[in-house]
Amino acid sequence: MIDIDRRGFIASLGGAAAVGLMSHEARADELEDELNRRLQLAQAPAQPPSQATGSRGFPTAAEVDAQITTRSYRRGAGRGFLDTDGDNVARLPELPDAPTFLDFFELRFQHTSNHCLQSANKAMERGVDEEIVLACLLHDLVQVLMRADHGYWGAQLFEPYVPERTTFAIKYHQALRFYSDTDAGYEYPDLYRRIFGEDYVPAPHIQADYAMLRNHRWYDAAREVTVSDLYAFDPDAVVSIDPFLEIVGRHFRQPKEGLGNDGSSVAHMWRTIATPDAPL
């Protein structure tokens, strides 16, 4: 059994309050990462890192990078394709012949649907317009397919079916997450210091997009997704799609053939989400 310094581990995640705001899944991911790191250290003591050497117990970007070879999967992989606990994956429920967005939401997007519903609830409380409430509802759902660069993948997945401003907000929440905007109510989260390393420098495409966004007329749309994102990790929140059914009905152009069957440029992405057990 591997010992974990509980107090040190919680501190490394940003303290008890920050941990309290994380979903069970996020906490499990972090705990698993920590266990994997300790296991690797126990088996190969010569390998770095021996401890998180950044300030306040956060790892450095180099330490995060050194963890890559301690996992049996790549962190950017879609959540629908692996069980990070190492258990066997479950059989997925059948989708209807002409699946709607709501069918996918209930039967395929369960990895992030709770977080996205919390985010959309927060956006609604904040009184933002429906296109942005929809963006919050959709903003992380694509992580079932791909976690790396998920804002861009998510925008592409929904682009044929939702307003252009909704797509824009989904796409660029990814870049704005890395940049504080105190006036808007967004502070860089400790969770990212933990996940990316405290000295992490965003990739060039993220820096370029941020420079573009600062003077864009839709900056606020993408920023709102990051603000509502921050407060959407309550493990005890009771959420439902019901308050959003009318917004989805008004703004999501559901193809009559069903998502994946409509011949759109992204139909294959929906089919892959529908049938992730297909070997090729």
Q: Please report, as ranges, the residues that interact with Fe ion according to CB under 5 A.
A: 140, 229
- d(CA 28, CA 25) in angstroms, rounded, equals 5
CB of 1 to Fe ion, least distance (A): 33
The candidate with the shortest Cα–Cα distance to 237, out of 27, 29, 21, is 21
What 3 state SS string does 152-214 have?
HHHHHHHCCCCCHHHHHHHHHHHHHCCCCEHHHCECCCHHHHHHHCCCCCCCHHHHHHHHHHC
CB of 263 to Fe ion, least distance (A): 29
Give 153 or 270: the residue with its C-beta nearer to Fe ion.
153
| Both structure tokens of 77 | 């992989």
Q: In whole angstroms, what separates CA 130 from the centre of its chain? A: 21
The candidate with the shortest Cα–Cα distance to 228, out of 199, 185, 197, is 185
CB of 24 to Fe ion, least distance (A): 15
Give 40 or 121: the residue with its C-beta nearer to Fe ion.
121
Give 23 or 40: the residue with its C-beta nearer to Fe ion.
23
- d(CA 212, CA 206) in angstroms, rounded, equals 10
CB of 190 to Fe ion, least distance (A): 15
Q: What does DSSP assign to residue 94?
A: P
Give 108 or 115: the residue with its C-beta nearer to Fe ion.
115
CB of 28 to Fe ion, least distance (A): 17
Give 33 or 140: the residue with its C-beta nearer to Fe ion.
140
Give 23 or 67: the residue with its C-beta nearer to Fe ion.
23
To which residue do tokens 């861009």 refer? Answer: 152
CB of 92 to Fe ion, least distance (A): 23
